[in-house]
Amino acid sequence: MGSMATPNQDQHHQKHHLQPLAPAPAPARRLPDFLQSVNLKYVKLGYHYLITHLITFLLFPLIVIILLEAARTDPDELRQLWLHLQYNLVSVLVFSAILVFASTVYIMTRPRAVFLIDFACYRPEPHLKAPFLAFMEHSRLCGEFNESALEFQRKILERSGLGEETYFPEAMHHLPPNPSMAAARAEAEQVMFGALDNLFRSTGVNPKDIGVLVVNCSLFNPTPSLSAMIVNKYKFRGNIRSFNLGGMGCSAGVISIDLARDLLQVHGSSYAVVVSTENITQNWYFGNRKSMLIPNCLFRVGGAAVLLSNRRSDRRRAKYRLVHVVRTHKGADDNAFRCVYQEQDEVGKVGVSLSKDLMAIAGGALKTNITTLGPLVLPISEQLLFFATLVAKKLFNAKVKPYIPDFKLAFDHFCIHAGGRAVIDELEKNLQLSPVHVEASRMTLHRFGNTSSSSIWYELAYIEAKGRIRRGHRIWQIAFGSGFKCNSAVWEALCNVKASSHSPWADCINSYPVQVVDGHIASQ
């Protein structure tokens, strides 16, 4: 499994108000503070607009001068210029040939555009819901946890940000639980085939037309592989290029997109399907080590299937175009490598242990990732501010705080991996986002829990269901995973995206957003 956050316990401090012994004297009347009255937000927006359109502002007078000079040119001079070109036919032909050759080389060597035609998220059956009371009662009756472990799980659930309608696989509803290989295969089939059925139904693509298949599931990797299960189910053609990624955590969904993109650069006129999921059945922890109990409380059933294409004809019906993928791997550092670690506890029970340094390591990985991503997506105005602050810090004052770029100027929507409430809180704070920017992440965590690598697709489905995506909007998907990894994908909307009939939010979107305070739904 990938990155998850240990919920932080909030500290409350009493505030004592002292009553003044006598009325305070009225302040002396003075001139208003004009500096404070200026709304710096609009000053910054004006600066951003000026820098962004600086070239236009500089070229406009030049173009006006050229047009005025052309209007005053004598027709005889234009005729003489034409005659001069006729007598220099060889130069004209050479110039034209160079222009055609350069254009051909550019067209042939530029990367193929990769389009996202549609995607589908799996929606489990209602009988698989796991309310908190049922979760705790089931944990108590299975007899594997002591009282301290049960109380710890209860507190984690209360502060997790999860709601009462998340899902567990069928095997975990049994008493005693049935984490068998057959049950794990059944869960994988339900999730993957459920998402793929919706995808093929909505796009009308024949499975035999798929040229590339990439499947990622971190902890469940049977033989034959999950990708082979899909090939067998949908009877894909024999020369399909299939890949099965295991052990790569919650950020593997972006890794799969990156791999599919690279393959589509090589193989022309192809479709690629990416399937991202995680398996709960065989990865439930039945011990009492607290650092290994947190995944039990956060992870839930989920999966997504994505259809990509490099065919130019598909641009008209595609939803998005893939713009950038940036991947960061901190595995060379021992602490980062072991911060999300599958192992056995003192009595031999297998689980995933989370380090107390997880949030700090995730923050470092995020910093490295956005340092690479920033120059690719940020407007020049933000890059100039960042560079100026960096120079000032180096030359004048080491105490100058580094400038945090405003990524809201680069992206219209944010899909932050719903690993846990603390992950979302930390990114909202560090990237200076508003509540609406993290709404999709919070509501996905509340409604579906941490579905690992597929969570960023449930979030995008939420934004679509709300009808917020317009042509030209940019979406930033960012995910964290064991290893430790931080990966980003940037998409551009090619149309005004409408709510999908097969969306996992189709029957409940009007109930969202709900207000979640300290992991609980606030009273309305």
Active-site annotation, residues: 250, 329, 413, 417, 446, 450
One-letter identity of residue 327: R
Integer distance in angstroms from the first to the last C-alpha of the chain? 35
Give the HSE-up count for residue 304: Cα atoms under 13 Å, Cβ half-sphere.
Answer: 27
DSSP secondary structure of 64-109: HHHHHHHHTS-HHHHHHHHHHHHTTHHHHHHHHHHHHHHHHHHHHH
> With b meaning 16 or more CB within 10 Å and e meaning fewer, what string describes 462-491?
bbbbbebbeeebbbbbbbbbbbbbbbbbbb
Hey, is 350 helix, strand or coil? Answer: strand
Taking the C-alpha atoms of residue 299 and residue 419, their distance in angstroms, rounded to an integer, is 8
> CB of 159 within 8 A of CB of 518?
yes
Q: Which two tokens stand for residue 277?
A: 């999921």
Q: Exposed/middle/buried for 104, CB within 10 Å: 0-12, 13-18, 19+?
A: exposed
Q: Which two tokens stand for residue 393?
A: 């810090």
> CB of 153 within 8 A of CB of 139?
yes
The CA-based angle 233-234-238, given to 5 degrees, is 105
Hey, is 440 helix, strand or coil? Answer: helix
**What are phi and psi for residue 468, nearest 5 degrees?**
-100, -10
* 138 Cβ neighbours under 8 A, 6+ residues apart: 130, 172, 173, 175
